[in-house]
């Protein structure tokens, strides 16, 4: 029999922190806190394997599970000195979800399970606190009806018609009728009446009675948590975060402790360090006489935990440090114990029941990129972690976030701050106001920057939040849902901005005395929590000294090279400032696109539209100086660093005028008849240009095109050498299928090289290589390596050719495939290690079988993708090459791959 149930409590536990896969993050860390001797209410954890069994078993609990649960409950009862479903001394429990990796607010938890007409009298007698008992009861009904009776039954009520919302409305109406401002003003009698009214409503809306039986409640709670794994919001969160569907969730059944017993009770959440800035200060929020979700839900504005947490909004409110100094001290000690044990910043939940502190959760806390780098540097100094671990502490996404823009502080001074909120997610954002998730998504799809403005956000909003460039909410604290999610994604976010009032009827937002419509511009400074009207300029944040220091440590562990894809001096310099060690891909044809391309493009067109070899050679002669200058300027800034030029690759028809108007104009310019020009253009037509006249085929059909390019590149090199520079030229041939193509082109190169060296009176060396981007080339790589001195794997084309997916046509199909789970991901975004990866691996091995020191690299979109970088490291590539902005990310990913590798051999 598989063991499905693990107990914890009384300073001991069957689980441990490193059992997250089995017990979920929450269960494993509850066990760990017990082992550390911290005050944790006793409980039991049902494993993620049980969740998998539950789903495999047609949503039935495995036989005997409930017997095991009751057995473990006996242990809990003993430790807590109370009995579940007992009339005299009843124990209540919570049923809490907990997956391997945290999914904040995505799955469900039910508190106060076990209250029934049988146990309520005992509770009343023991606590002598009817207000507390009925407050707990009405909460149970609300949560249970929502989670167990509605959601887990798959009922999907219309927007705003869910049972939770209906009960919340009843509560609000009741408070309004009695002129209560806060939940805490509700009396015992009020809460009793509300509980009765709730039960009637539940029956009316859902058609079943709220169960008045503690045992049934327990089983219902456990099943509902399992079901919530496949709830809508959990599924969509997993998709965004890339969490596999088959991991499952654990269930934690834990003895209740109560923060809602009166003014000597409280509940709170905290971070052991500031998650937005990384500062080494205890940071949190708490609420007196409240339970569980109240802090996170934003129903009441929470109080600051301590002086360090006070800000504009809450500075007048009492902190725990002030009101409960003893308990606060105890919590500070726990903070230290936890950081020493986990060597990291933790996010904790605690509850104080009548002056006694209990720990309810701890997990490694989400943080911004800035905070991650600050904390890692501090923890290194404090001796909590070593510098290898520093490298592992910053995820590539967080590093990327550090490279993201912030508002330009100089320009900020030109704009009045129209409102202030809490700085929940750092960086800057400028965009159009979106009031709904759909609007944010619509803007995003159309490439329009947008700011999602909401009262508050909840887990239903994740997709809208994802699509937004910035998030602004009227309510919520630093630990509210919006804040947690935004920080996790490194998104600019301001919460609790009370000046924001949304009027959905008219689709307008009032901020202070200003009124905005959906679509109006706003700017956010998420690092300070400031809101500006209109557009503030943005700048990038790479000059951060912490960033530079961190990258130095990264390079200490990195073994694989990182180059960049760049085709002009500006991009090349940018990339070098980001740490690029060379250029892995310079596309010669890039000079025919964009800025200053008119002249060379005109010459290129003449070349393409030539009818005879003589015409073509004449046109090429005019083109050559442009290629030379373009190559020379970038070679010059890359002095001493390798620069790989790729010979012209694209289908020629891309460069000729396609509309009749443009063709007539082009004909006139050339003194040619329109009909003649059209004939020449039509002659270039191909049914499938991606597999037609491009790459090395161009150079074989028209050797004069190859000759011109070699002459231009060699001349640029000679000129630079004469000017005292140190160019490191590499030339690669694209779209190769065999060694003969390379020999053919090489013979041209050899001849031209002699001519150019003679002309300039200088000699030079260069590397002659090829791209490997057709499966055939990977298979005959041993023969190819006979002539090629290096390989560069072009993973875009290699993916296209391996799948037979046309990069230009297959988008919609790929999306459908991913949705239908025919393939796990878009192979053009996520490198297909399984198959395309095999070809790369094979290509490297076969190539090096002929030429052991064959240099191998990769260029293409995947060169900057962290998971792919790790793969390329294992295949033994010498370098990856990616776009300039991805260079730091690739350096980090390469260092992390090397460290992981070294650790796995220990």
Q: Could you tell which of ligand ADP, Mg ion, none binds residue 162, using a CB distance below 5 to 8 A set by kind?
A: none
Buried-state track 331-364, b at ≥16 Cβ within 10 A, e below 16: beebbeebbebbbbbbbbbbbbbeeebbbbbbbb
Distance from chain centroid for Cα 576: 26
**Least distance from C-beta 505 to ligand ADP, angstroms?**
32
Q: Which two tokens stand for residue 787?
A: 């002539």
Spell out the SS3 assignment of 95-145: EEEEECCCCCCCCCEEEEECCCCCCHHHHHHHHCCHHHHHHHHHHHHHHHH
Rounded to 5 degrees, what angle do the CA atoms 67, 69, 75 make?
Answer: 110
The reply on whether position 257 binds ligand ADP by CB under 6 A is yes
| Residue whose CB is less far from Mg ion, 796 or 850 | 796
Size of the site for ligand ADP (CB under 6 A): 16
The reply on whether position 351 binds ligand ADP by CB under 6 A is yes
Rounded CA gap, 361 and 349, in Å? 5
Q: Could you tell which of ligand ADP, Mg ion, none binds residue 794, using a CB distance below 5 to 8 A set by kind?
A: Mg ion
Q: How many CA atoms lie within 13 A of 327 on its CB side?
A: 23
**Least distance from C-beta 839 to ligand ADP, angstroms?**
43
**Least distance from C-beta 260 to ligand ADP, angstroms?**
9
The reply on whether position 888 binds ligand ADP by CB under 6 A is no
Q: Could you tell which of ligand ADP, Mg ion, none binds residue 797, using a CB distance below 5 to 8 A set by kind?
A: Mg ion
Tokens 């399984």 correspond to what residue?
Answer: 834
Choose among 432, 275, 497: nearest CA to 366. 275
SS3 content of the chain, % helix, strand, coil (to 5): 50, 20, 35
Other CB atoms closer than 10 Å to residue 846's CB: what's the count? Answer: 18
| Residue whose CB is less far from ligand ADP, 461 or 865 | 461
Which residue in the set 183, 212, 293, 378 belongs to the binding site for ligand ADP (CB under 6 A)? 293
| Residue whose CB is less far from ligand ADP, 26 or 616 | 26
**Least distance from C-beta 317 to ligand ADP, angstroms?**
19
The reply on whether position 408 binds ligand ADP by CB under 6 A is no
Q: Could you tell which of Mg ion, ligand ADP, none binds residue 351, using a CB distance below 5 to 8 A set by kind?
A: ligand ADP
The reply on whether position 268 binds ligand ADP by CB under 6 A is no
**Least distance from C-beta 20 to Mg ion, angstroms?**
15
Q: Could you tell which of Mg ion, ligand ADP, none binds residue 292, using a CB distance below 5 to 8 A set by kind?
A: ligand ADP
Rounded CA gap, 449 and 440, in Å? 9
Which residue in the set 80, 133, 251, 256 belongs to the binding site for ligand ADP (CB under 6 A)? 256
Choose among 44, 56, 36: nearest CA to 3. 44
Q: Could you tell me which stretch among 224-232, 249-257, 308-316, 512-520 binds ligand ADP (CB under 6 A)?
A: 249-257
- Closest residue to ligand ADP, based on beta-carbon distance: 292
Q: Could you tell me which stretch among 242-250, 260-268, 792-800, 897-905 binds Mg ion (CB under 5 A)?
A: 792-800
Which residue in the set 259, 477, 600, 794 belongs to the binding site for Mg ion (CB under 5 A)? 794
Q: Which two tokens stand for residue 726?
A: 């140190």
β-pair partners for 267: 287, 351
| Residue whose CB is less far from Mg ion, 116 or 799 | 799
The reply on whether position 460 binds ligand ADP by CB under 6 A is no
| Residue whose CB is less far from ligand ADP, 184 or 549 | 184
**Least distance from C-beta 796 to Mg ion, angstroms?**
6
The reply on whether position 90 binds Mg ion by CB under 5 A is no
Q: Which two tokens stand for residue 303?
A: 């109080």
Within 351-410, the residues that bind Mg ion by CB under 5 A are 361
Q: Could you tell which of ligand ADP, Mg ion, none binds residue 109, using a CB distance below 5 to 8 A set by kind?
A: ligand ADP
The reply on whether position 797 binds Mg ion by CB under 5 A is yes
CB-count exposure of residue 736 (10 Å: 0-12, 13-18, 19+): buried
Q: Tell me if 112 sits within 8 A of 130, measured CB to CB.
A: no
| Residue whose CB is less far from ligand ADP, 230 or 565 | 230
| Residue whose CB is less far from ligand ADP, 319 or 361 | 361
| Residue whose CB is less far from ligand ADP, 357 or 836 | 357
Within 71-110, the residues that bind ligand ADP by CB under 6 A are 94, 96, 105, 109
| Residue whose CB is less far from ligand ADP, 109 or 663 | 109
Q: Could you tell which of ligand ADP, Mg ion, none binds residue 360, using a CB distance below 5 to 8 A set by kind?
A: ligand ADP
CB-count exposure of residue 460 (10 Å: 0-12, 13-18, 19+): middle
The reply on whether position 254 binds ligand ADP by CB under 6 A is yes
Bridge-based pairing state of the strands 492-495 and 470-473: parallel
Q: Which two tokens stand for residue 122?
A: 């005992």
Within 28-67, the residues that bind ligand ADP by CB under 6 A are 41
Q: Which two tokens stand for residue 563?
A: 């180059």
Q: Could you tell which of ligand ADP, Mg ion, none binds residue 256, using a CB distance below 5 to 8 A set by kind?
A: ligand ADP
In this structure, the dihedral spanned by the alpha carbons of residues 390, 395, 398 and 404, taken in order and rounded to 10 degrees, is 100
CA distances 309 to 326, 425, 477, 751, Å, are 18, 16, 11, 73
CB-count exposure of residue 767 (10 Å: 0-12, 13-18, 19+): middle
**Least distance from C-beta 124 to ligand ADP, angstroms?**
19
| Residue whose CB is less far from ligand ADP, 96 or 227 | 96
Rounded to 5 degrees, what angle do the CA atoms 478, 482, 486 make?
Answer: 90
Q: Tell me if 376 sits within 8 A of 393, measured CB to CB.
A: yes
Which residue in the set 15, 220, 292, 477 belongs to the binding site for ligand ADP (CB under 6 A)? 292
**Least distance from C-beta 616 to Mg ion, angstroms?**
24
The reply on whether position 366 binds ligand ADP by CB under 6 A is no
The reply on whether position 294 binds Mg ion by CB under 5 A is no
**Least distance from C-beta 545 to ligand ADP, angstroms?**
36
The catalytic residues are 481, 859
Q: Which two tokens stand for residue 716?
A: 């640029």
| Residue whose CB is less far from Mg ion, 589 or 773 | 773
Q: What are phi and psi of 758, to 5 degrees?
A: -65, -40
The reply on whether position 284 binds Mg ion by CB under 5 A is no
CA distances 420 to 425, 499, 500, Å, are 14, 8, 10
| Residue whose CB is less far from ligand ADP, 97 or 800 | 97
Which residue in the set 40, 360, 371, 889 belongs to the binding site for ligand ADP (CB under 6 A)? 360
**Least distance from C-beta 397 to ligand ADP, angstroms?**
22
Q: Could you tell me which stretch among 46-54, 514-522, 779-787, 793-801 binds Mg ion (CB under 5 A)?
A: 793-801
Q: Is 265 helix (H, G, I), strand (E, B) or coil?
A: coil
Question: CB within 8 A of 374, min separation 6: which ones?
Answer: 277, 278, 279, 546
Q: Tell me if 831 sits within 8 A of 871, measured CB to CB.
A: yes
**Least distance from C-beta 272 to ligand ADP, angstroms?**
16
Q: Could you tell me which stretch among 160-168, 390-398, 434-442, 772-780 binds Mg ion (CB under 5 A)?
A: 772-780
- Between helix 545-557 and helix 887-904 the angle, nearest 10°, is 40
Within 111-140, the residues that bind ligand ADP by CB under 6 A are 111
Q: Could you tell me which stretch among 123-131, 255-263, 434-442, 485-493 binds ligand ADP (CB under 6 A)?
A: 255-263
Phi-psi map region of 253: left, alpha, beta (phi>0 left; psi -120 to 50 alpha): beta
Alpha-helix residue ranges (DSSP H) falling in 761-855: 775-779, 781-787, 795-803, 811-819, 836-850
Can you give the binding site for ligand ADP, defined by CB under 6 A?
Answer: 41, 94, 96, 105, 109, 111, 254-257, 292-293, 349, 351, 360-361
Can you give the binding site for Mg ion, defined by CB under 5 A?
Answer: 361, 773, 794, 797
């Amino acid at each position: 029999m598989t063991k499905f149930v693990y107990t914890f409590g009384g300073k001991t536990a069957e689980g441990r922190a490193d059992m997250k896969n089995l017990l979920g993050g929450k269960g494993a860390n509850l066990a760990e806190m017990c082992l550390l001797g911290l005050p944790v209410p006793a409980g039991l954890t049902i494993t993620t394997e049980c969740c998998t069994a539950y789903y495999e078993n047609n949503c039935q609990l495995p036989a005997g599970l409930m017997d095991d649960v009751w057995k473990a409950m006996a242990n809990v009862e003993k430790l807590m000195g109370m009995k579940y479903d007992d009339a005299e001394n009843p124990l209540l429990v919570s049923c809490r979800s907990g997956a391997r990796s945290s999914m904040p607010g995505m799955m469900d938890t039910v508190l106060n399970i076990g209250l029934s007409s049988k146990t309520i009298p005992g509770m009343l007698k023991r606590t002598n606190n009817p207000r507390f008992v009925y407050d707990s009861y009405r909460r149970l009904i609300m949560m249970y009806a929502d989670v167990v009776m509605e959601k887990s039954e798959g009922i999907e009520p219309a927007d705003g018609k869910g049972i939770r919302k209906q009960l919340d409305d009843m509560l609000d109406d009741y408070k309004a009728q009695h002129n209560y401002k806060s939940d805490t003003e509700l009396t015992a009698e009020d809460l009793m009446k509300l509980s009765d009214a709730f039960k009637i409503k539940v029956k009316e809306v859902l058609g079943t009675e709220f169960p008045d039986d503690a045992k049934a409640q327990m089983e219902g709670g456990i099943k509902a948590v399992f079901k919530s794994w496949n709830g809508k919001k959990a599924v969509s969160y997993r998709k965004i975060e890339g969490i596999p569907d088959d991991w499952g969730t654990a269930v934690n059944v834990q003895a209740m402790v109560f923060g809602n017993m009166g003014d000597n009770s409280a509940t709170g959440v905290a971070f052991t360090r500031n998650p937005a800035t990384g500062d080494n200060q205890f940071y949190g929020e708490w609420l007196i006489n409240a339970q569980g979700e109240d802090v996170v839900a934003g129903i009441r504005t929470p109080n600051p935990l301590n002086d360090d947490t006070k800000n504009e909004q809450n500075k007048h409110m009492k902190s725990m440090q002030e009101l409960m100094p003893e308990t606060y001290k105890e919590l500070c000690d726990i903070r230290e114990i936890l950081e020493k044990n986990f060597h990291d910043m933790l996010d904790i939940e605690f509850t104080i029941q009548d002056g006694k502190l209990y720990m309810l959760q701890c997990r490694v806390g989400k943080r911004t990129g800035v905070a991650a780098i600050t904390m890692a540097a501090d923890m290194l100094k404090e001796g909590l972690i070593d510098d290898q671990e520093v490298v592992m502490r910053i995820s590539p996404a967080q590093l990327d976030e550090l490279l993201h823009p912030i508002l330009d502080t100089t320009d900020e001074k030109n704009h009045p701050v129209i409102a202030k909120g809490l700085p929940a997610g750092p960086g800057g954002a400028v965009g159009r106001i979106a009031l709904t998730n759909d609007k944010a998504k619509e803007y995003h799809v159309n490439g329009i920057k947008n700011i999602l403005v909401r009262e508050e956000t909840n887990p239903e909003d994740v997709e809208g939040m994802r699509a937004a460039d910035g998030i602004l909410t009227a309510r919520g604290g630093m630990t509210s849902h919006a804040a947690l999610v935004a920080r996790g994604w490194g998104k600019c976010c301001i919460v609790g901005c009370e000046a924001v009032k949304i009027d959905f009827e008219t689709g307008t937002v009032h901020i202070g005395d200003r009124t905005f419509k959906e679509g109006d511009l706003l700017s956010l400074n998420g690092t300070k929590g400031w809101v500006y009207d209109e557009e503030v300029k943005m700048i990038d944040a790479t000059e951060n000294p912490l960033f530079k220091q961190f990258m130095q440590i990264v390079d200490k562990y990195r073994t694989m090279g990182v180059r960049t894809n760049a085709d002009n001096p500006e991009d090349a310099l940018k990339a070098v400032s980001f740490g690029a060690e060379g250029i892995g891909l310079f596309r010669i044809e890039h000079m025919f696109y964009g800025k200053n391309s008119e002249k060379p493009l005109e010459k290129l067109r003449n070349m393409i539209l030539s009818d005879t070899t003589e015409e073509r050679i004449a046109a090429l002669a005019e083109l050559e100086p442009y290629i030379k200058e373009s190559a020379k300027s970038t070679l010059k800034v890359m002095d001493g660093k390798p620069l790989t030029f790729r010979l012209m690759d694209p289908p020629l028809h891309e460069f000729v005028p396609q509309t009749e108007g443009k063709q007539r104009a082009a004909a006139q310019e050339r003194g040619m008849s329109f009909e003649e020009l059209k004939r020449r253009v039509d002659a270039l037509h191909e049914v499938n240009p991606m597999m037609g006249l491009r790459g090395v085929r161009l150079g074989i059909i028209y050797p004069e095109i190859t000759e011109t390019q070699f002459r231009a590149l060699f001349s640029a090199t000679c000129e630079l050498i004469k000017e005292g520079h140190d160019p490191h030229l590499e030339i690669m041939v694209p779209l190769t299928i065999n060694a003969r193509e390379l020999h053919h082109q090489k013979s041209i190169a050899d001849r031209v090289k002699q001519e150019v060296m003679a002309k300039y009176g200088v000699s030079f060396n260069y590397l002659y290589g090829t791209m490997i981007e057709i499966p055939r080339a990977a298979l005959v790589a041993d023969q190819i390596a006979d002539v090629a001195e290096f390989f560069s794997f072009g993973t875009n084309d290699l993916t296209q050719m391996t799948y037979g997916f046309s990069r230009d046509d297959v988008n919609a199909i790929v999306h459908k495939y991913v949705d239908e789970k025919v393939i796990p991901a878009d192979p053009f975004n996520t490198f297909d290690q399984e198959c395309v990866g095999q070809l790369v691996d094979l290509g490297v091995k076969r190539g090096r079988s002929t030429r052991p020191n064959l240099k191998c690299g990769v260029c293409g979109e995947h060169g900057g993708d962290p998971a792919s970088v790790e793969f390329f490291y294992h295949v033994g590539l010498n370098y990856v090459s990616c776009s300039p902005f991805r260079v730091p990310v690739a350096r980090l990913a390469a260092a992390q791959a090397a460290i992981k590798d070294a650790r796995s051999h220990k």
